[in-house]
């Protein structure tokens, strides 16, 4: 990363904080959002929902935590262990509690008294869906609409790299052709959504930050197969790397196999999803149209219902 890009990101974050659109916490990448910021997120969502209106998607909403048993059936720990958020809790008795408090009071690591709970934070909204589909899909498969807060442990000053952020997804589960067609369609629709918002975007083959030595091979394979496409918006000029604000991803049987999902004709189901990164799209809007929402282009405001 260039010094210029790094300082441009920090300057933008400081503008957002100074304008009160984001509220600082003591943790990098963790922010409060103002009412105006939330209105913008809701406005983006209206445009997303309009783009998906003909999908007949089954709307499901899940909390930001996922059963640990579900998490363990994905390969997230192999690919992104460093982004994981495992939830731990206290199950001891009075004596254990006294020890816990004594550790806390002396500034020691009180978490030594905790044990893993039954849940982890979700890294992506669609992970909640697959365990609910175990078995045989109806004829034609399923389209689902999910939207929730996700967590990725990557503290950063870059406002576009939040640790907790929202993702609205349309998920297709069906035949290999269904999954590929969903991804292709949503690359086009994603570009339309961003166009409606006045954000120039380009599709790029994704380059996920797989962990470690083994991860370099996984990243290489992902780029080679070109299964995941990101829609990228430039926040700091065309010469700097852009920010992925939407991703359209064909998972092949990556979830169908571990969650034992079959199509109506008995084959292992394939899946694909499009994910709209709500905070990142909001940041792109503030960057391209300015911090004063009232001064945004009339057609953008109108499409967002603002």
Site for a second copy in 101-130 (CB under 8 A): 101, 104, 109-111, 114, 116-119, 121, 128
Please check whether residue 275 is in contact with residue 150, taking contact to mean a CB–CB distance below 8 angstroms: no
Under rule CB under 8 A, residue 89 binds a second copy = yes
Crossing angle (nearest 10°) for helices 35-51 and 278-289: 110
Query: Which of 6, 10, 18, 38 is close enough to bind a second copy by CB under 8 A?
Result: 38
Under rule CB under 8 A, residue 93 binds a second copy = yes
Sign, CA torsion 286/290/296/299 = negative
Number of residues forming the site for a second copy (CB under 8 A): 71
Residue 51 CA to residue 189 CA, distance in Å, equals: 7
User: Interface with a second copy by CB under 8 A: which range of 3-11, 145-153, 227-235, 288-296?
Assistant: 145-153
Shortest Cβ distance from residue 176 to a second copy (Å)? Answer: 26
Q: Restricting to residues 154-183, which ones interact with a second copy according to CB under 8 A?
A: 155, 162-165
Query: Which among 56, 66, 61, 227 has a CA at the least distance from the CA of 131?
Result: 66
Place of tokens 């975007």: 201
Nearer to a second copy, 212 or 297 (CB): 212
Q: Restricting to residues 12-31, which ones interact with a second copy according to CB under 8 A?
A: 23-27, 30-31
DSSP letter assigned to residue 267: P
Residue 257 CA to residue 269 CA, distance in Å, equals: 8
Query: Which of 21, 44, 48, 70 is close enough to bind a second copy by CB under 8 A?
Result: 70
Under rule CB under 8 A, residue 153 binds a second copy = yes
Shortest Cβ distance from residue 212 to a second copy (Å)? Answer: 5
Query: Which among 209, 249, 219, 248 has a CA at the least distance from the CA of 231?
Result: 248
Shortest Cβ distance from residue 231 to a second copy (Å)? Answer: 23
Q: Restricting to residues 189-228, which ones interact with a second copy according to CB under 8 A?
A: 211-214
Nearer to a second copy, 232 or 279 (CB): 279
Under rule CB under 8 A, residue 100 binds a second copy = yes
Sign, CA torsion 79/82/87/90 = positive
Measured from the Cβ of residue 127, the count of other Cβ atoms closer than 10 Å reads: 24
Q: Restricting to residues 257-296, which ones interact with a second copy according to CB under 8 A?
A: none
End-to-end CA distance of the chain: 36
Which phi-psi region, left, alpha or beta, contains residue 129 (left: φ > 0; alpha: ψ -120 to 50)? alpha
Query: Which of 17, 50, 83, 157 is close enough to bind a second copy by CB under 8 A?
Result: 83
User: Interface with a second copy by CB under 8 A: which range of 8-16, 63-71, 192-200, 244-252?
Assistant: 63-71
Nearer to a second copy, 162 or 229 (CB): 162
Nearer to a second copy, 122 or 248 (CB): 122
Shortest Cβ distance from residue 19 to a second copy (Å)? Answer: 14
Residue 200 CA to residue 207 CA, distance in Å, equals: 20
Q: Restricting to residues 224-253, which ones interact with a second copy according to CB under 8 A?
A: none
Measured from the Cβ of residue 178, the count of other Cβ atoms closer than 10 Å reads: 21
Residue 187 CA to residue 173 CA, distance in Å, equals: 17
């Amino acid at each position: 990363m260039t010094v210029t890009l790094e300082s441009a990101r920090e300057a933008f974050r400081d503008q957002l904080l100074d304008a009160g659109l984001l509220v600082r916490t003591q943790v990098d990448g963790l922010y409060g959002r103002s009412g105006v910021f939330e209105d913008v997120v809701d406005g983006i969502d209206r445009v997303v929902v309009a783009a998906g209106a003909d999908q007949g998607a089954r709307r499901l909403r899940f909390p930001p935590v996922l059963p640990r048993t579900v998490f363990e059936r994905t390969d997230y720990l192999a690919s992104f262990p460093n982004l994981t958020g495992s939830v731990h809790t206290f199950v001891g008795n009075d004596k254990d509690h006294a020890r816990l408090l004594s550790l806390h009071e002396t500034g020691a690591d009180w978490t030594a008294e905790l044990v893993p709970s039954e849940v982890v934070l979700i890294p992506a909204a669609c992970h909640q869906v697959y365990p609910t589909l175990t078995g045989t899909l109806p004829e034609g498969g399923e389209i689902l609409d999910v939207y929730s807060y996700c967590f990725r442990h990557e503290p950063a000053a870059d406002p576009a790299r939040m640790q907790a952020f929202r993702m609205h997804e349309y998920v297709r589960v069906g035949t290999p052709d269904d999954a590929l067609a969903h991804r292709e369609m949503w690359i086009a629709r994603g570009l339309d959504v961003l166009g409606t918002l006045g954000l120039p975007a380009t599709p790029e083959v994704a380059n996920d930050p797989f962990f470690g030595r083994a991860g370099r091979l996984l990243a290489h394979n992902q780029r080679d197969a070109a299964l995941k496409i990101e829609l990228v918006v430039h926040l700091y000029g065309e010469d700097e790397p852009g920010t992925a604000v939407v991703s359209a991803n064909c998972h092949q049987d990556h979830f169908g196999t571990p969650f034992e999902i079959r199509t109506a004709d008995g084959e292992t189901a394939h899946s694909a999803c499009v994910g709209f990164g709500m905070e990142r799209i909001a940041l792109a809007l503030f960057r391209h149209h300015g911090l004063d929402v009232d001064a945004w282009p009339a057609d953008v405001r109108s499409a967002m219902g603002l």
